[in-house]
Amino acid sequence: MNLSRKWLKEFVDIEASDREYAEIMTVAGQKVETTARLDAEIKNVKVGKVLSIVRHENSDHMWVCQIDVGEAVPIQIVTGAQNVRQGDLVPAALHDSYLAGGVHITRGMLRGEESNGMLCSIQELGLTHNDFPDACQDGIWILNDEGAHVGQDINEVIGNDDAVVEFEITNNRPDCYSLIGLARETAAAFNVPLKLHEPVVKGGGPGELMELLDVETPDPDLCLRYTARMVRNVKIGPSPKWMRQRLRAAGIRPINNIVDITNYVMVEYGQPMHAFDYRYVGGGKIIVRRAGADKTLTTLDGNVRNLTPDMLVIADETRPVGLAGVMGGENSEIAPDTVDVVFESANFDGTSIRKTALALGMRTEASAKFEKNIDPMLTLPAVNRACELVELLGAGEVLDGVIDILNYIPQPVVLPLEPERINALLGTQIPEADMIDYLRREQITVSDGKIIVPTWRPDLRRMADVAEEVARFYGYNEIPTTLMRGATTRGGYSPSQKLENKAGTAARAMGYSEIITYSFVSPSGMDMIRAPKDDPRRKQIKLLNPLGEDSSVMRTTGLPSMLDILARNYAYHNKAARLYELAKIYLPVEGEPLPREPKLLMLGSYGPGEDFYTLKGAVEGILAQLNTLPVSFEAVTDNPSFHPGRCAALLVDGKRIGLLGQVHPLAAANYGMDCEVYCAELNFTELLTVLAPEKTFKALPRFPATSRDLAVVCDETVTVGSLEACITAAAGELLREIKLFDVYRGAGILPGKKSVAFSLTFRAEDRTLTDADIEPAMGEVLQALERNLNAVRR
């Protein structure tokens, strides 16, 4: 809502700089977004009097003028305009002046004649024909009839000596979408009187309103109130300068006196109005009804609008003539030859208006106001104010009488004033008398401890609402600052959050950086990771109104998100990346409205030195930090997202928790990556179920360990994992550690075979081991290896 400070003066008398005004209003609850000086653009343009005007010696269309701009000596300005005469008052842009659009005017020579500035047209001053209808359209603006004087700043003539304050009005205060509403807030904030004006209509126009006009409201649920008056024998023309200036400050283009009056009243009262040309109100009848069978309406902007049956229209006997609360129809618009006018001042259901405006994509000033559910009591003073202005402007003859249909029963709202509860809620000790005074400032009466809530304050319904009014004028910043008393609570992280923090720390220690990706993804991601057609992860939750296909489903795997980010970094020529994300996936649950939302830990990497084992090492490292039960890995050869020979399932305590490996080159290629890409996807929520018991101290060994190296030759197909398992099982209880240190193929080893070397560590808790202890164990190991895996000592 834009407020002209000059116009505001009609209602409240305050002295405050723009900055002070904004500060005081904001702190009292009406937030000022910006304050724009209207005279900020045009600078150093003054009213000048043409003392003389002679033809330019070297030009057949230019003139050399001597202009009195109120300085000691006249200045010479050359103009190409043909409508300037000696004695005229004109806008003179002096040397170093600024015009509309930031045009900078400086002194110069025009075909040998010095020109110390420029004479201006209205366009050059940022104005249009609508603002100054009498101004010359293709020449210099002649100010003879504008009440200007020599040397005056042109901004004063235009009415730019004003500031427009833009307020952020909250939803609960529809009354503040009006000048009077903001004037009331200003008066309350500054604690000064509010000067309100009761419209007075003389009336007496020819004819009987009731005979000329009939209004029906067959859909009372959508039309709470309909008020109308008639004006006859109107003289359509421009409205006076003061009205045009005020409308301009409010950001409204002046059109003609009748339309300007409706807009003026809308700004003043916040009540949208409409003026119909009576000629086109067929049968003298206005019917406010749902569109029903009517399919289209041409609005006054010339667009054909498609109606749906529930939209509220204003119709005559035969057809819709306006879209209720949004825009009038082309067929009933005020025209230069309009003779009789119907003023409509109505109250429509906010939700209905909002839906209509939204459906048709035409949010207007009027619909924006109606959708806030404005006070139905406004219609009558507003229509009277419009008629009063008609009479003031001499624009027509107002008929006696008002048509006023009320489709609701006004319910007075009375609340008890409860000072103790208010103070208890605010943590203050404000005396009751002060509370009553704060409310009085807002024109809210309190008598006998009862608050009479004005009709324009739908937001005051409970003690808490009243507490806010009290707090606003007591000052939010005056309320003391205390710390909570009462029972203390034990704050902190849940076990799963603690584990997340640990996992993040461990991942970063392994060199992985954290990323945050969108929860919604493209459904095509499933194709890009080569998921089979019947992959259950393709059952994704769909957004019914996504921003686009790319963000239209909730992810069921973290792989596409991770690959997107890796690919983006790759495309940016970042040499390497190690990334992790701890975030949710969204899995639909049959028969449930809400999905399951388990958390994933995703790891992803590419770049020099990255291979399957660096990824596996990182996963093992993280799991070790989390202290899970024993971890094992199993080859996975059939997951189409991964390299068939470089992919493993992660098992913790035998339970499958995740998958890791090199992304299948074809999947990587789908993301534009032609290098080796590694990803791991761990079900973090599942991990919570396979944690080892908390660690306790074990006594340090008192006796030395003994180690033995062992190299065996076996078939290629025998895995290190199976060799280790075999050794562990056979070695007995003295074996403490088994460590792979070499895998060798080549000279000395037959093709199809490999040599695998381990270092075995033995230790006892009660003695130093001797060969006699270890040799039998090694013997068992060798036998078992040969028997079970055909692996023989090299």
Partner 1 sequence: MKDQLEQIRSRALAALEAAKESAELENLRVSLLGKKGELTAVLKMMGKLSAEERPVMGQLANSVRAAIEERLETRKAELAAAAMEQKLAAEALDVTVPGTAPTLGHKHPMNIALDEAKEIFIGMGFQILEGPEVELAEYNFTKLNTEEGHPARDWSDTFYIQEDSSVLLRTQTSPMQIRAMEAIKNPPIRILAPGRVYRKDEVDATHSPMFHQIEGLVIDKGITMADLKGTLETLVKSLYGEDSVVRFRPHHFPFTEPSCEVDVQCFKCKGAGCPTCKGEGWIELLGAGMVHPKVLEGCGIDPNVYSGFAFGIGLERMAMRRFQISDLRLIFENDVRFLRQF
Of residues 538 through 577, those in contact with partner 1 by CB under 8 A are: 541-547, 551, 554, 565, 568-569, 572, 574, 577
Query: Which CB, 489 or 696, lies closer to partner 1?
Result: 489
Element at 453 (helix H, strand E): strand 450-453
> Strand 520-521 vs strand 631-635: parallel, antiparallel, or unpaired?
unpaired
CA proximity to 683, closest of 626, 609, 617, 743 = 626
Query: Which CB, 305 or 354, lies closer to partner 1?
Result: 354
Radius of gyration of the chain (CA): 42
Report, in Å, the least distance between residue 787 CB and partner 1.
44
Backbone region of residue 591 per phi and psi (left: phi > 0; alpha: psi in -120 to 50; beta: other values) = left
Q: Which of residues 434-473 bind partner 1 (CB under 8 A)?
A: 459, 462-465, 467-468, 471-472
The two three-digit tokens of residue 140, written as one number: 């210099």
Among 242, 518, 613, 741, binds partner 1 (CB under 8 A): 518
Query: Is the Cα dihedral 670, 674, 676, 678 positive or negative?
Result: negative
Q: Residue type for 102, please?
A: G
Among 513, 632, 689, 768, binds partner 1 (CB under 8 A): 513
Among 193, 251, 511, 532, binds partner 1 (CB under 8 A): 511
Q: Write the CB contacts of 584 (distance below 8 Å, at least 6 apart in sequence).
A: 519, 597, 598, 599, 600
Query: Which CB, 130 or 428, lies closer to partner 1?
Result: 428
Among 198, 211, 412, 489, binds partner 1 (CB under 8 A): 489
Report, in Å, the least distance between residue 710 CB and partner 1.
32
Query: Which CB, 130 or 172, lies closer to partner 1?
Result: 172
Query: Which CB, 389 or 563, lies closer to partner 1?
Result: 563
In whole angstroms, how far apart are CA 622 and each of 506, 654, 679?
Answer: 5, 18, 14
Report, in Å, the least distance between residue 222 CB and partner 1.
13
Query: Which CB, 547 or 699, lies closer to partner 1?
Result: 547
Query: Which CB, 548 or 654, lies closer to partner 1?
Result: 548
Tell me the CB-side half-sphere exposure of residue 331, using CA atoms within 13 A.
16
Report, in Å, the least distance between residue 686 CB and partner 1.
17
Q: Which of residues 234-263 bind partner 1 (CB under 8 A)?
A: none
Examine residue 591 and tell whether it contacts partner 1 (CB under 8 A).
Answer: no
Q: Write the CB contacts of 248 (distance below 8 Å, at least 6 apart in sequence).
A: 131, 159, 254
Backbone region of residue 609 per phi and psi (left: phi > 0; alpha: psi in -120 to 50; beta: other values) = left
Query: Which CB, 135 or 585, lies closer to partner 1?
Result: 585
Examine residue 282 and tell whether it contacts partner 1 (CB under 8 A).
Answer: no
Distance between CA 208 and CA 86 in Å, rounded? 54
Report, in Å, the least distance between residue 421 CB and partner 1.
9
- The stretch near partner 1 (CB under 8 A) out of 64-72, 285-293, 516-524, 672-680 is 516-524
Examine residue 488 and tell whether it contacts partner 1 (CB under 8 A).
Answer: yes
Distance between CA 568 and CA 522 in Å, rounded? 16
Query: Which CB, 171 or 770, lies closer to partner 1?
Result: 171
Among 433, 483, 700, 750, binds partner 1 (CB under 8 A): 483
Report, in Å, the least distance between residue 530 CB and partner 1.
23
Report, in Å, the least distance between residue 699 CB and partner 1.
32
Q: 20-59 mask for partner 1 (x: CB under 8 A)?
A: --x---xxxx-x--x-------------------------
Report, in Å, the least distance between residue 677 CB and partner 1.
14
Backbone region of residue 70 per phi and psi (left: phi > 0; alpha: psi in -120 to 50; beta: other values) = left
Among 411, 482, 717, 770, binds partner 1 (CB under 8 A): 482
The two three-digit tokens of residue 570, written as one number: 């790759």
Among 492, 693, 704, 752, binds partner 1 (CB under 8 A): 492
Query: Which CB, 242 or 613, lies closer to partner 1?
Result: 613
Examine residue 579 and tell whether it contacts partner 1 (CB under 8 A).
Answer: yes
CA proximity to 287, closest of 366, 209, 218, 379 = 218
Query: Which CB, 490 or 698, lies closer to partner 1?
Result: 490
Backbone region of residue 243 per phi and psi (left: phi > 0; alpha: psi in -120 to 50; beta: other values) = alpha
Tell me the CB-side half-sphere exposure of residue 624, using CA atoms within 13 A.
8
Report, in Å, the least distance between residue 370 CB and partner 1.
13
Among 517, 524, 614, 788, binds partner 1 (CB under 8 A): 517
Report, in Å, the least distance between residue 296 CB and partner 1.
23
**Inter-residue contact 204 to 397 (CB < 8 Å):** yes
Query: Which CB, 401 or 504, lies closer to partner 1?
Result: 504
Q: 348-367 mask for partner 1 (x: CB under 8 A)?
A: --xx--x---x---------
Query: Which CB, 277 or 581, lies closer to partner 1?
Result: 581
Among 242, 408, 493, 613, binds partner 1 (CB under 8 A): 493
- The stretch near partner 1 (CB under 8 A) out of 430-438, 442-450, 488-496, 763-771 is 488-496
Among 51, 196, 392, 509, binds partner 1 (CB under 8 A): 509
> Strand 89-98 vs strand 75-79: parallel, antiparallel, or unpaired?
unpaired
Query: Which CB, 480 or 654, lies closer to partner 1?
Result: 480
**Cα angle 59, 60, 64; round to 5:** 60
Examine residue 510 and tell whether it contacts partner 1 (CB under 8 A).
Answer: yes
Q: Which of residues 601-620 bind partner 1 (CB under 8 A)?
A: none
Q: Which of residues 305-344 bind partner 1 (CB under 8 A)?
A: none
The two three-digit tokens of residue 505, written as one number: 């720390």
Query: Which CB, 371 or 391, lies closer to partner 1?
Result: 371
The two three-digit tokens of residue 725, written as one number: 């398992």
Write out the E strands in 152-246. 163-168, 214-216, 223-232
Report, in Å, the least distance between residue 31 CB and partner 1.
7
**Inter-residue contact 329 to 321 (CB < 8 Å):** yes
CA proximity to 613, closest of 743, 484, 701, 424 = 743
Examine residue 484 and tell whether it contacts partner 1 (CB under 8 A).
Answer: yes
Q: Which of residues 140-199 bind partner 1 (CB under 8 A)?
A: 170-173
Query: Which CB, 276 or 512, lies closer to partner 1?
Result: 512
Query: Which CB, 56 or 184, lies closer to partner 1?
Result: 184
* DSSP annotation of 541: P
Count of CB atoms situated within 10 Å of the CB of 427: 10
Report, in Å, the least distance between residue 641 CB and partner 1.
21
Residue tagged 């939010």 (tokens):
476
Examine residue 516 and tell whether it contacts partner 1 (CB under 8 A).
Answer: yes
Long-range contact list for 655-658, CB < 8 A, 24+ apart?
655/686, 655/689, 655/690, 657/682, 657/683, 657/686, 657/687, 657/690, 658/601, 658/619, 658/682, 658/683
* DSSP annotation of 768: -
Total number of residues that touch partner 1 (CB under 8 A): 89
Report, in Å, the least distance between residue 470 CB and partner 1.
9
Q: Write the CB contacts of 443 (distance below 8 Å, at least 6 apart in sequence).
A: 184, 188, 194, 454
Report, in Å, the least distance between residue 76 CB and partner 1.
40
Q: Which of residues 376-435 bind partner 1 (CB under 8 A)?
A: 424-428
**Cα angle 508, 511, 517; round to 5:** 65
